[in-house]
Amino acid sequence: MNTLWVMSYNVRYDTSEDGEDSWSERRDGVAEIVRTRRPDLVGFQEPLPHQLADLRDRLPEYEILGEGRRADGGGEHTPIGFRRDRFSLLDRETFWLSETPDQPGSVGWDAELPRIATRFWLRDEQTGQTLTHCNTHLDHVGEQARREAAALLVRELDSDGPTILTGDCNCEPDSPPYRLLADSSLRDARAVSTTPPFGPPTTRTDFESLHDTWIIDHIFVDSAFSVRQSGTCSETDRRHRYPSDHLPVLAELQYGNH
- pLDDT, residue 65, reads 98
- pLDDT, residue 2, reads 87
- The answer to whether residue 131 scores a pLDDT higher than 80 is yes
Choose which CATH entry (3.40.50.300, 3.60.10.10, 3.20.110.20, 3.30.70.2740) describes domain 3-255: 3.60.10.10
User: pLDDT for 6-36, tens place per residue?
Assistant: 999 999 999 999 999 999 999 999 999 999 9
Angle (CA) 159 136 78, round 5°: 125
- pLDDT, residue 51, reads 98
| pTM, to two decimals | 0.97
- pLDDT, residue 238, reads 97
Q: Per-domain residue ranges for the chain?
A: 3-255
Query: Are 30 and 243 a contacting pair, CB within 8 Å?
Result: yes
Query: Are 251 and 5 a contacting pair, CB within 8 Å?
Result: yes
